[in-house]
Amino acid sequence: MPESRSRKKPVTPKPAPVAREEGPNPPWFAPTFIALLILGLVWVVVTYISQGRLPIPPLGSWNLAVGFGFILVGFGMTMRWR
Protein backbone atom coordinates (compact mmCIF):
# COMPACT_ATOMS: atom_id res chain seq x y z
CA MET A 1 0.00 0.00 0.00
CA PRO A 2 1.48 3.44 -0.88
CA GLU A 3 2.36 5.91 1.87
CA SER A 4 0.82 9.34 1.90
CA ARG A 5 3.01 12.41 1.88
CA SER A 6 3.62 13.90 5.27
CA ARG A 7 2.41 17.40 5.85
CA LYS A 8 5.02 19.89 6.88
CA LYS A 9 4.26 23.28 8.28
CA PRO A 10 6.14 26.12 6.66
CA VAL A 11 9.08 27.21 8.77
CA THR A 12 8.86 30.85 9.76
CA PRO A 13 12.22 32.38 10.64
CA LYS A 14 12.46 34.03 14.03
CA PRO A 15 13.26 37.72 13.85
CA ALA A 16 16.81 38.55 14.85
CA PRO A 17 17.15 40.37 18.17
CA VAL A 18 17.50 44.07 17.62
CA ALA A 19 20.59 45.56 19.22
CA ARG A 20 19.98 48.78 21.07
CA GLU A 21 21.93 51.71 19.84
CA GLU A 22 23.57 53.12 22.92
CA GLY A 23 25.16 56.47 22.69
CA PRO A 24 28.62 57.34 23.90
CA ASN A 25 29.43 57.58 27.58
CA PRO A 26 29.15 60.93 29.33
CA PRO A 27 32.40 62.90 29.53
CA TRP A 28 32.86 62.17 33.26
CA PHE A 29 32.81 58.38 32.82
CA ALA A 30 36.41 57.68 31.78
CA PRO A 31 38.04 60.04 34.32
CA THR A 32 35.88 58.52 37.07
CA PHE A 33 36.87 54.91 36.46
CA ILE A 34 40.54 55.84 36.02
CA ALA A 35 40.41 57.82 39.29
CA LEU A 36 38.78 54.86 41.07
CA LEU A 37 41.45 52.46 39.82
CA ILE A 38 44.26 54.78 40.89
CA LEU A 39 42.61 55.59 44.24
CA GLY A 40 42.20 51.88 44.99
CA LEU A 41 45.81 51.17 44.09
CA VAL A 42 47.10 54.04 46.26
CA TRP A 43 44.80 52.93 49.11
CA VAL A 44 46.18 49.38 49.02
CA VAL A 45 49.80 50.54 48.78
CA VAL A 46 49.40 52.96 51.71
CA THR A 47 47.77 50.20 53.76
CA TYR A 48 50.66 47.82 53.07
CA ILE A 49 53.34 50.42 53.76
CA SER A 50 51.72 51.54 57.04
CA GLN A 51 50.96 47.93 58.07
CA GLY A 52 47.22 48.62 58.36
CA ARG A 53 47.49 51.80 60.46
CA LEU A 54 46.56 54.15 57.61
CA PRO A 55 44.46 55.53 55.76
CA ILE A 56 41.64 54.88 58.29
CA PRO A 57 43.13 53.54 61.55
CA PRO A 58 39.95 51.96 63.05
CA LEU A 59 39.53 49.75 59.98
CA GLY A 60 42.92 48.09 60.37
CA SER A 61 43.30 45.35 57.78
CA TRP A 62 39.86 46.10 56.35
CA ASN A 63 41.54 49.01 54.57
CA LEU A 64 42.65 46.41 52.02
CA ALA A 65 39.03 45.50 51.36
CA VAL A 66 38.17 49.17 50.86
CA GLY A 67 41.04 49.59 48.40
CA PHE A 68 40.10 46.46 46.46
CA GLY A 69 36.49 47.65 46.48
CA PHE A 70 37.53 50.86 44.71
CA ILE A 71 39.52 48.80 42.21
CA LEU A 72 36.58 46.46 41.54
CA VAL A 73 34.15 49.33 40.99
CA GLY A 74 36.60 50.99 38.61
CA PHE A 75 37.14 47.73 36.76
CA GLY A 76 33.38 47.18 36.54
CA MET A 77 33.02 50.61 34.97
CA THR A 78 35.58 49.69 32.30
CA MET A 79 33.24 46.91 31.17
CA ARG A 80 30.53 49.48 30.35
CA TRP A 81 32.85 51.89 28.53
CA ARG A 82 31.94 52.52 24.89
Within 8 A by CB and 6+ apart from 22, the residues are: 82
pLDDT tens digits in sequence order for the chain, 82 residues long: 777 777 777 777 888 887 777 889 999 999 999 999 999 999 999 999 998 888 999 998 899 999 999 999 999 999 999 8
Model pTM above 0.85: no
